Amino acid sequence: MTYGFHMVDMWSLDSEAIEERVAFAALVRDLVWRETKKRLGFGEGEGPHSPNALAPTSAAAQAVHLMYLKVATEAGDVVQRLAADAAARAGRAGASYADLGMAAGVSRQAARKRWPDAVGTQWVLYLLTGKSGPHGTVTRVFRSEEKAIETGRTAVDEGALSDDGAVGAVVISSARQTVWACYFSDGTWAPEEITLPEDLEIVPSAGEAGHSDWLHRWEQHVTRLL
């Protein structure tokens, strides 16, 4: 496995940042060493005090170093997963690849290569709530189109059980285009998928001019169907 860690120019860091990095590295080394000794069967305070305390060419040293390598590799795998999860969460929150690269100490291109799906791949679910006006709206963000649709369908299906339940749902892609919509049909007593009118297919981003108007027109469209 290639981790592709970025070599940071220590001279570009201030003294406090250097101390933090050195201290953090020491914590990680200590964690890996303690886990290594634990897996080798040593109790607290037992065994060699460091990975280099044994005779370099001995069988015991080989066993220690191989276990240390195993633990360090597992730690690296865990760190990579943590970083990928953090990048995905940052992307959902609106971070760009430039932002991810700055946080990780790599270039924008390297961040894009390392986490290709972290930015720009998300689906937004809008739920229209309340059996009668004024309706409310609930917004949720998903990394999976299927999960967004499934959640929307379930919410509308269960919406009939309460006065403030969901009566309509629509899923929007990263390109701000509607990919799925439904409403609760009294005729079938179940969610019914619909194709929205052309003027509702493209959705302005929250905060942009036209977003509130789109929400209002979507609400009116669903209300007419109820």
Same domain for 14 and 109, yes or no, is yes
- β-bridge pairing 178-185 and 136-142: unpaired
Question: Which runs of consecutive H residues, i.e. helices, occur in 124-210?
Answer: 145-159
Which pLDDT score, from 0 to 100, does residue 175 have?
77
Same domain for 15 and 107, yes or no, is yes
8-25 average pLDDT score: 75
- Banded model confidence at residue 132, pLDDT cuts 50, 70, 90: confident
Question: Which runs of consecutive H residues, i.e. helices, occur in 7-107?
Answer: 15-39, 59-92, 97-104
2 pLDDT above the threshold of 60:
no
Site of tokens 């040593």: 42
Same domain for 131 and 69, yes or no, is no
Same domain for 103 and 133, yes or no, is no
Which pLDDT score, from 0 to 100, does residue 94 have?
76
Same domain for 101 and 177, yes or no, is no
Q: Using N-to-C axis directions, what is the helix angle for 15-39 and 59-92, rounded to 10°?
A: 130
Instruction: Flag whether 206 is in a domain.
Output: yes
Residue after which a domain boundary falls, among 70, 86, 114 = 114
Domain count, the chain: 2
Same domain for 38 and 20, yes or no, is yes
- Banded model confidence at residue 9, pLDDT cuts 50, 70, 90: low
164 pLDDT above the threshold of 50:
yes
Same domain for 29 and 86, yes or no, is yes
Residues above pLDDT 70, as percent of the chain: 94
Instruction: Flag whether 73 is in a domain.
Output: yes
17-41 average pLDDT score: 94
Name the pTM for this structure: 0.54
Query: What CA–CA distance (Å, rounded) separates 54 from 56?
Result: 6
| Bridge partner residues of 191 (DSSP) | 184
Same domain for 105 and 146, yes or no, is no
Residue after which a domain boundary falls, among 80, 114, 148 = 114
199-207 average pLDDT score: 91
Instruction: Flag whether 140 is in a domain.
Output: yes
Residues above pLDDT 90, as percent of the chain: 67
Which pLDDT score, from 0 to 100, does residue 13 have?
60
Residue after which a domain boundary falls, among 86, 114, 142 = 114
Which pLDDT score, from 0 to 100, does residue 209 have?
87
Instruction: Flag whether 2 is in a domain.
Output: no
Name the average pLDDT for the chain.
89
Same domain for 32 and 73, yes or no, is yes
Instruction: Flag whether 3 is in a domain.
Output: no
Same domain for 144 and 219, yes or no, is yes
204-211 average pLDDT score: 87
Same domain for 105 and 159, yes or no, is no
Same domain for 94 and 158, yes or no, is no
Instruction: Flag whether 5 is in a domain.
Output: no
Kindly state the tokens that stand for 35: 């886990």
Instruction: Flag whether 1 is in a domain.
Output: no
Residue-number span of the structural domain to which 68 is assigned? 10-114
- The residue count of the chain comes to 226
- Banded model confidence at residue 4, pLDDT cuts 50, 70, 90: very low
Coil, strand or helix at 126:
strand
